[in-house]
Amino acid sequence: MKIHILGALSGTEPFPNRNHTSWALELDNGNIYLFDAGENCSRTAYLSQMDLMQIKTIFISHSHYDHLAGLVNVFSTILKMRALYRDTQPRSIDIFMPEEKVWAGFNAFAESIGAYPLHTEINDHILSDGGFFKNDDIMVEFRGNEHVAKAENGDFRSFSFRITVGDKVIVYSGDVRSADEFADWSKECDVVLMESGHHHPWEVCEKWRNDNCRIGKVVFMHHGRDYINLPTQTAVATRRAWGRDVIFAEDDMIIEL
């Protein structure tokens, strides 16, 4: 099982060799589950020889452009691959969006420019606090967070995820106002993928250490100015706070579980 980092940058201006937030979980059977879709994620995936036609489900944590703007490219890249290889095998992709209006707008845009993959059924779903997705491969639990203000009806518009595959547990923060929003999930897991665009990573690690969290691998992504401007100092301060090595994700990085 592999975690592919397709984009590790927060919503900043462009930087060389850095794309906005996206990562994929590739299982031993070849099936792929995509989390967020910042720009150029499908290019990174394709050039690293990931088989995008094996994407089974896509989860979009919230509707900010740095997590969503590359989704139409995912669809169009699959479309091009299916045409190139003359692949007519019927396929389906489940996609989870944070809001109905976001899906409606994306769907209309993708259809209008002819970006839908050939011979592919797209099954749309809306994320809900306490909801989950489960199949024979994986279980993904959803938790609403306060990164984006709630809708007028009280529904959450931003989500964190806990992913279980066999005996492995991965926690993905998405963007959060505070690490406290998924504190119970981070108490014990194999991997945490934590955003550092809105938090100092050393402060997050100090909290986890004080809370006696048992985390196998700590991976920071969605990098903000701390890591972009001062990568060495940030890595040193974070390692000291955690007491052991952490991973600062880079585009095209692979993390094996």
Tokens 């994620």 sit at which residue? 41
Q: What is the pLDDT, as a whole number, of residue 30?
A: 96
Q: What is the pLDDT, as a whole number, of residue 137? A: 97
Q: Is the pLDDT of residue 193 over 90?
A: yes
Q: How far apart are CA 53 and CA 117, in angstroms?
A: 10
**pLDDT value of position 168:** 98
Strand partners, 23: 5, 35
Residue 118 above 90 pLDDT?
no
Query: Which residue is associated with the tokens 């934590």?
Result: 194
Whether the pLDDT of residue 192 is over 90: the answer is yes
* Close Cβ partners of 228 (under 8 Å, ≥ 6 residues apart): 9, 12, 15, 18
pLDDT surpasses 90 at 117: no
- The alpha helices in the chain, defined as continuous H runs, are 41-47, 65-68, 71-84, 100-112, 201-210, 225-229, 231-242
User: What is the DSSP code (8-state) at residue 145?
Assistant: -
Helix and strand numbers, DSSP H then E, in the chain: 7, 14
Phi, psi for 138 (deg, rounded to 5): -155, 155
Give the N- to C-terminal CA distance of the chain in Å, as an integer. 6
For residue 105, what pLDDT is reported? 94
pLDDT tens, position by position, 37-94? 999 999 999 999 999 999 999 999 999 999 999 999 999 999 999 999 899 999 999 9
The tokens for 24 are: 């994929």
Mean pLDDT of 179-204: 97
Q: What residues contact 165, with CB distance under 8 A and at least 6 apart?
A: 1, 25, 27, 137, 138, 139
Instruction: Show the domains of the chain with their CATH numbers.
Output: 2-256 (3.60.15.10)
Question: pTM surpassing 0.85?
Answer: yes
Q: Which pLDDT score is estimated for 59?
A: 98
Question: What are 26's strand-pairing partners?
Answer: 2, 32
Give the chain's mean pLDDT.
96
Handedness of CA 122, 123, 126, 132 (dihedral sign): negative
Residues 92-105: tens digit of each pLDDT = 999 999 999 999 99
Alpha helices in 127-230 (DSSP H): 201-210, 225-229
**β-sheet with 139-144: strand ranges across:** 132-134, 139-144, 159-165, 168-172, 188-195, 214-221, 247-248
